[in-house]
Structures are given as structure tokens and as C-alpha cells.
Amino acid sequence: MLDLDGVIWVGGTPVPGAAEAVERLQQLDAPVAFVTNMSALTVADQEAKLASCGIDATGSVITSATAAGQLIHPGERVLVVGGPGIDEAVELAGAEVCSSGPADAVIVGMDPGFNYDTLSRAMRAVRGGARLIGTNHDPSYPTERGLEPGGGSLLAAVATAAETEPTMAGKPNQPIVDCVRSRIGESGVVVGDRPDSDGLFAEALGYGFALVLSGVTGPDDLPVTPEPQHCAPDLAALVDQMEFE
């Protein structure tokens, strides 16, 4: 299970050697999947972004929006705070995307246009009885400019204003665990740059955890909890290390 932000790319810049490392993994007799907490993009857009890096990920991408869609029921009205990826998941669940008014659920993910009006509409819907669902808890994500606020930061604002606890969908929570286990099976390795999401995700799955230092976590942050079974500067070095071992 390969994370995307901080493993395959940082912002719009591919991590050197990542595409070649993925190709080596795909040549092994084991499935390779790309599992991301980034909910803004549709699955097809994530596949296209991977293709632009030289990686064939057709049918192999699982997002936190995909997991959030498992928590929605057909016919519901869902207020979306986020991007097209969440809209897609809601519509696939047979529900209606709305931007205001009464709602059965509010899903919060990455939304670069988030502002006070967005916060107010989401808060009122939750206080009016809507379930609050978070695509992920990640407070930040890596870009070329450094760390930027993640979907978890926006979710925290809505949860605080609504005075409620959200149901979580993405890594390391049960909805995305179920998505992965149904596709991959009972054993595997999670590769990521965040112990608090990727590492705990590996624990929830009962998989191994491999940490790369090309994203949020750097050498100065070590040691981390949970402790990874493998740790390397980037994906290419990690694949070298695991093949050697």
C-alpha cells in the first residue's frame, strides 16, 4: 500500500526514483495499491496524475473520499466541504450533493476555498442534525513550499464550531481499512510518510509499516511511534533495502 503525498510526489513534483521503484514493485507477484488521504481529486484524476509521473495505477487507487462514501446511504442529502473527489464518492453512493440547507450528513476534506461562510454552513447543518464525517485527520501535507494545512485542520474547525466528534473515514480508520482488506487481503506492507496515519493504518490492517522520509516526517523526527519495520530516505531507497533484506 503506497501513500501518494510525500511518497510518490511532493505537491506537483515527483519524488526522484519513485516511478522506477513502483515499476519494480509491480513486477513482483503481489498487488500494489495507492492509498491516499487526499480527498480533493477523483480517482480518475489521481490515476492521471500518477500516469503523468510514469506510473500505471489503473484500478489501483483508493482515496479517503472513497472510504467516506461507504458511510453514506442512497437518497441522502450530503453537504460537501471539499473537492470533486468527495462529490464523486457521494454520487456513487446514490446520494445528493448539496452546498447548504438541511442535510443528512456533512463530509469535510481538503478544500482550498474554505472560509468563514463555508464553516458557518457546515456548522449549521451539523447542529441541525447532520452526521459529521471527516475524510481524514491529517493536520498538514507536504508541498514544494513546505507544509500546508490539511483536511484535518478544516475538519477540526467544523467539529469545534458544531461541538461534536466526527466519524472518520480515511487512514487509519475502519472504513478505509475495510476498503483495502476487501481488495488486497490479509497481509501486506503500508508505505507512508506519517506514522500517525500510515503507521496506525498498518497496525489496524495487521500489515507491516515502512516509513519514508521524503514527506512530512524527516530524519530529525526519529524515532517515531509506531516504530516502522523499515525506514529509508525515499521509496527508491526503501525498495533497495527491502530487496536486499
Render pLDDT for 124-174 as a digit per residue (tens, 0 to 9). Answer: 999 999 999 999 999 999 999 999 999 999 999 999 999 999 999 999 999
For residue range 9-58, what is the model confidence (pLDDT) as tens digits? 999 899 999 999 999 999 987 789 999 999 999 999 999 999 999 999 99
Query: Is 3 noted as a catalytic residue in this protein?
Result: yes
Q: What is the Cα–Cα distance from 5 to 118, expressed in whole angstroms? A: 25
C-alpha dist (Å) from residue 230 to 19, 210, 238, 243: 19, 5, 7, 11
C-alpha dist (Å) from residue 51 to 25, 45, 55, 134: 16, 10, 5, 28
User: Which single residue is written with the C-alpha cell 513550499?
Assistant: 145
Q: Tell me, yes or no, if the pTM score tops 0.85.
A: yes
How high is the pLDDT of residue 101? 81
Q: Amino acid identity of 197?
A: S
